[in-house]
Each structure stands twice: as C-alpha cells, then as structure tokens.
Chain A
Amino acid sequence: MFYRENGQFKTSYRADQQILPILQDRIAMVLLLLVAFIAVPVLSSDYLMRAILIPFLIFSLAAIGVNVLVGYCGQITLGSGAFMAVGAYGAYNFFVRMPGMPLVVALILGGVCAMLFGILFGLPSLRVRGLYLAVATLAAQFFSDWMFLRITWFTMDTPSGSVAVSNLQVFGLPLQSSISKYLFCLSIVVLIALLVKNLVRGAIGREWMAIRDMDVAAAVIGIRPMYAKLSAFAVSSFIIGVAGALWAFVYLGAWEPSAFSVDYSFRLLFMVIIGGLGSIMGSFFGAAFIVILPIALNQFLPFVAGLLGISITTTAVSHAELIVFGGLIVWFLIVEPHGLARLWAIGKQKMRLWPFPH
C-alpha cells in the first residue's frame, strides 16, 4: 500500500537513472543511515559493537570487494584472504616506517599495495577461467602466507611475523573506544559502497558484466577483456586490501600472518554467494549471515545442550559449530541458490502488491 512507484514521474534522463528512483526507497535509505550512524551507537552495548558490528562492517566491505570480482566480473577468486593480508601488512609498513603518517592515508596505501598484488595475480585470468582460475588464485594465498612469514623485512624483523599497532588517530581524534571505531568503519563502508554502486552502473561496470555473461561475445563487440578483467581485479583487491587493513588495525590491533588464512578466502566467497552474486545489498546480507552465524552458534549450542542435560566440552562445541555451519550452507544453497538478495527482491515485489495479491 505504501511502497508504490505510482505517480512518481521522471522528466529527465538523469532523474530516471538515480540510484534510488523511488521516493520510499530514499526515505528508507535515509532512515537506515540515521539508525546506523546515530541510533546504533547510542543504543548498543560495547560488546555488541566490538564483537559483532565492527566485524560485520569490515567483512561487508571485503564482501563488496569480492562481489566486484566474482559477482560483477565473473572471475571466481579464492585469493581474497591474501589480498586482505597484503592490505594489512602494506598499511602497517607505511604506518610504522613513516612517522606521522595519517591512518587514512596508510589504509589507502595498503589498499594500493593490495591492488598491485591483485593485478599481478589477476594476470592468469586473461588465459584461464572458471574453476581453473579459482585454483590458480589460491597461489596468491599460499604465496602471501609464505611471504609474510619468511621475508622478515615486511614485518620489521619481528619473530613469527606478529606485529601490532597502537595510538590510532583519525584527524587528530583518538580511535580508542568501540563507538569511535564503529563510526570510523561505518563511514568508510558507506563511502566505498556508494563508490562501487556508482562504478557498477557506469560504463566500466557494464563492461564487467558483459565479460561475466560471455567474455568472447564481449570481446567481439569491442570490450577489451584485458582492461576489463584487470580493472575488476584492481578495484576488487583495493577494496579487499582496505578491508584487510581495517581488520588488522581496528579490530585485531595485533596480528600475525596466520590471521589471514585460506579460510578467510572461503568465507568471503561464501558471503558473496549466500548474499547474492552481483548485488551490493547482498554483500551486507552475506556478511551478516557468515559473521553472526558462528557467534550465534557459539552461544546457542551450549544453551541447547544445557536444556537436554548434556554437558559438552568446548572442542565438541567447535565441532558441532562446523557441522551446523556446513549443513546450513548446503541447505541454504539448495533452498535459495541466488542468495539473500533474491529473497529481498521477492519481498519488495510482494510489498508493492500488498495488500492486494493480484
């Protein structure tokens, strides 16, 4: 009843091409941003912010990055954990080696490092595609694992490659409390999400989608595959690199190379597929699902066991977590292979017709 586009006429091409063409969508988006920027920091507890919201935001950012590559350009990658690691260690090196380096600039430079690394490991995509490419990108993962462990220059010669950052400041304001960290991450996520949204609806985004749908046909109509694929790798790994740097600086504080294992690559791909390929909104849904699920299971399983009167050990809980996590993912892929974004679209369609179903 309330969600209709009736009566909202567009008189110019620009107005028709808005990101949110319907008034109700704009209102909803403003409300969402208000909630995220004002209501959430006021209402939520320190634990909620630190353990759930900040990881959620950072992984949403990384998932957006993966979605650019996998969802929009169709290049499956299993090397995203490596891009995160390169972003984190790149930012760390700039931050520590150059005194007075502002945090934001260090993050961006970390992203640039990840971008260069991504372009390098994106080169095989020009020859190889599909599952071969997925396996080939694992090379990036193992290479970065090795690089940060063995080449001690990157980690300032610390043993086992573990490093730490402290005294984070943004524009002179200290980044200590959970609220300030949350707001910092949120601002970056909103900014980059808007940027990506604009990229994918522009010329370059359409090139990526053409490559995704059929690269030979795209090449025939004059899209340069090399430029399109490598630019997708560059944009994607830049975003993932920034997310990795944020994860290390803001969430972890101190980390070692194993913090960015191949498991992260798998989880990021899960987020994108469960959220919905080729959807910015879906990246947020997917990240929420994958970040919150283990935490929820961790809380929920001992509770269930308590109800049944069984005492279970922490290892049993972690195994049960794996079982439920794996089972849910399979179930979810069977029920909705197009991801949560598709459910969202169906819900919206229902809303337009409501309360008259025909």
Chain B
Amino acid sequence: MAFFLETLLGGLMVGMLYSLVALGFVLIFKASGVFNFAQGAMVLFAALAMARLAQWIPEWTGIESKVLANLAAFVLAGALMFVIAWLIERLVLRHLVNQEGATLLMATLGIAYFLDGIGQTIFGSNVYKLDIGMPKEPIFVFESVFPGGILINREDLIAAAIATALVAMLSLFFQKTSTGRALRAVADDHQAAQSIGIPLNRIWVIVWCVAGVVALVAGMIWGSKLGVQFSLATVALRALPVVILGGLTSVPGAIIGGLVIGAGEKLSEVYLGPYVGGGIEIWFAYVLALVFLLFRPQGMFGEKIIDRV
C-alpha cells in the first residue's frame, strides 16, 4: 500500500509538470486556433537561455549572489521569450490567418525546427546544469501510518507547488483582468471580439508571451531536474496526450489531464511494465488518451463538438 501511494504521488507530481507544458498548448489553441507544436522547442529554448544566462551573468557583471544571478537570468530569458513571441506573431501568424489547421500546424513545426537550430547555435548544444537551488534530498512522510513512511522527492514537491502557483496566477489573470477578459473573448469568437474593438494581433502577441513564460517556467523546472539538453524538446511529445485527454480548449482539463496521465504512466510502468518488457510509459499515455477519446471525442472538458451540415 505504501509503495502504491508512493508511486501514485510520484506520478501525480510528474503529471503536474506535464500539465505545465500542456498549459502552453491550450493557451495558444484557445486564443488563436493554432496547435502549437513549437511549444517543446520553446521550452528547450527558454531553458537553454536561462541556464546559459545564469552562467554568463556572473561572468559579465561580477554578481556573486546565486539568487540574484538566477533572478536576472530569469528576467532576461523572459524578455527573450517576449521578443520571440512578438516575432512569431509578426512574421508568421499574421500572414497565415484563415489558413487550415494542418497548414498552421506545419508552420509551427517549421518554427520548432528554427528555434531548435537557433537556440543551440546561440547557447551551445552541450548538456548544461541549471541550479536554481532546489533541494535534492527526499523526505519521508506518514511515518506513523506506514512502516518506513512514504518517500517523496522534495524537488518534485516544490516543482508541483510552483506549477500550482502558476496555474492559480494564470486563472486569476484570465478571470479578473481586462486583458484576460479580452483573451477569453477572442477564444470564444474571433469575429465578435474584433467587432467590439479587441485588437486581435495584440491579443495573439500576449498569448504567445504568456505561453513563452509558461515554457520558461516549465523549462526551468524540467531543466533543473534532468539537465538542459536537446531531449527537453521531446517533453512536449510527452505532454501531447495530456492535451487531448483534457481537451484542447480547457485550462482545468490540462491540469487534471496532466495528473491522470502522470499517475497512469507511473502506475502502468510499475505494475504492468514488467510483464511486457518495460519502457511502456510513453505509449501507454497515448493509448490511455486514445481510449478515452473513443468515448468522449472532445476530451474531458473540451467544448462539445457539434456537427452541422
């Protein structure tokens, strides 16, 4: 029982990180109808920028304090993501308005290749360490209930807390600010939003900026967990089942989908994996999402798909 709980908790915390990446997909899809395959590349780019800047800034300015250097790197990397968001809107999306979904999907794949290439050209392509001061040693909880307690990774716990805080902040932003309201209006109906005077182009820039910041946070956490390297870009592929499970248009869906996929992945790997040779977690998540889609084609919380002739 303790082992089961331990696996489940570990899975849930990884799931929280998946939902962080998934959130980036959902935000952009809601606002602009673009399925952004470049989210993974953005995570990689942001993490690379963060890791290298945290290393470079002390060299340039002589700042000793690690916290300050990390903070400065975070702000600078965030600014970089803003610039990228603006460029993407300006140079790509603006010219592709009203194209089919598949064309837009391919365009974001092109952006992904581009970002992968340019990120590694500027920041180098080795494995970099990103130390943001997360405690590594595990802790034990519920020692009174189970013999030996349950092992929890402190790092995962903090990551999950950061993710939760980010999600809470985003939902506040969406619900309470006027920009957030405009974003929701655009997500609802492009034309209606435009007709009451919401500038579509600016909204898209904002959405891509928010997605960029989400990518930065995701990249930071994943990067400090696994090291910043090219394989970070594939985290997006792990987060895709989360998006379709939760529904492409639902923020809570991304969160709950992430938790379900994270837990399902870990539990299947531990309890099912040994019978079939292990390594099943990647496709198991997809199959889980697929089976779910057979019953609810729009995902858990996605908008109902209505067919009209």
Contact = CB atoms under 8 A, between A and B. Distances in A.
A312 to B, nearest CB: 10
Given A135-B240, A323-B118, A334 B95 contact: yes
B248 interface: yes
B243 A135 contact: yes
Contacts of A327: 110, 114
Contacts of B111: 326, 330
Nearest to B277: A150
Contacts of A34: none
Contacts of A124: 290, 293-294
Contacts of A319: 116-118, 120-121, 125
Interface stretch (B98-106, B155-163, B175-183, B198-206): B98-106
Contacts of A351: none
Interface string B60-93: 0000000000000000000000000000000110
B286 A330 contact: no
Contact of B102 (A76, A216, A326): A76
Interface string A315-345: 1100111111111111001100100000000
A70 interface: yes
A199 B298 CA distance: 33
A131 B105 contact: yes
Contact of A134 (B105, B241, B280): B105
Interface string B238-279: 001101100010000000000000000000000000001111
A262 interface: yes
Nearest to A133: B293
A326 B112 contact: yes
A146 interface: yes
Interface string A158-186: 00000000000000000000000000000
B286 A333 contact: no
B289 interface: yes
Nearest to B94: A334
Contact of A333 (B103, B112, B283, B289): B103
A269 B106 contact: yes
B114 A128 contact: no
Nearest to A121: B290
B309 interface: yes
Interface residues of A, number: 48
B226 interface: no
A138 B100 CA distance: 20
B114 A330 contact: yes
Interface residues of B, number: 51
Nearest to B282: A142
A306 interface: no
A334 B282 contact: no
Contact of A326 (B35, B114, B277, B308): B114
Interface in A207-263: 214, 216-217, 220, 262
A143 interface: yes
A147 to B, nearest CB: 9
B209 interface: no
A132 B280 contact: no
A220 B289 CA distance: 29
A10 interface: no
A333 B110 contact: yes
Interface in A262-302: 262, 266, 269-270, 273, 277
Interface string A99-143: 000000000000000000000000010011111101110110011
A333 B287 contact: no
A64 interface: no
Residue among A269, A326, A337 with most chain B CB within 10 A: A326
Contacts of A143: 283, 286-287
Nearest to B121: A319
A273 B297 contact: no
A320 B307 contact: no
A273 B299 CA distance: 27
Given A325-B113, A326-B113, A330-B92, A216 B103 contact: no
B284 to A, nearest CB: 9
A149 interface: yes
A330 B107 contact: yes
Nearest to A129: B297
B299 to A, nearest CB: 7
A76 B104 CA distance: 13
Nearest to B278: A150
A333 B96 contact: yes
Contacts of B279: 146, 149-150
A76 B63 CA distance: 51
Given A139-B286, A330-B107, A150 B276 contact: yes
Contact of A139 (B115, B116, B290): B290
A151 interface: yes
A127 B297 contact: yes
Given A142-B283, A142-B286, A326 B110 contact: yes
A270 B289 contact: no
A139 B287 contact: yes
Contacts of A146: 279-280, 282-283
Interface string B295-309: 001110000000111
Contacts of B35: 131, 134
14 contacts: A76-B102, A131-B105, A135-B289, A139-B283, A139-B290, A146-B283, A150-B278, A151-B277, A270-B106, A315-B120, A326-B114, A329-B107, A330-B107, A333-B103
Nearest first, the 5 closest Cβ-Cβ pairs linking A and B are A322-B117, A326-B113, A326-B114, A139-B286, A329-B110
Given A143-B287, A319-B117, 10 more contacts: A76-B101, A124-B290, A139-B283, A139-B287, A270-B106, A319-B125, A324-B117, A326-B112, A330-B92, A337-B103
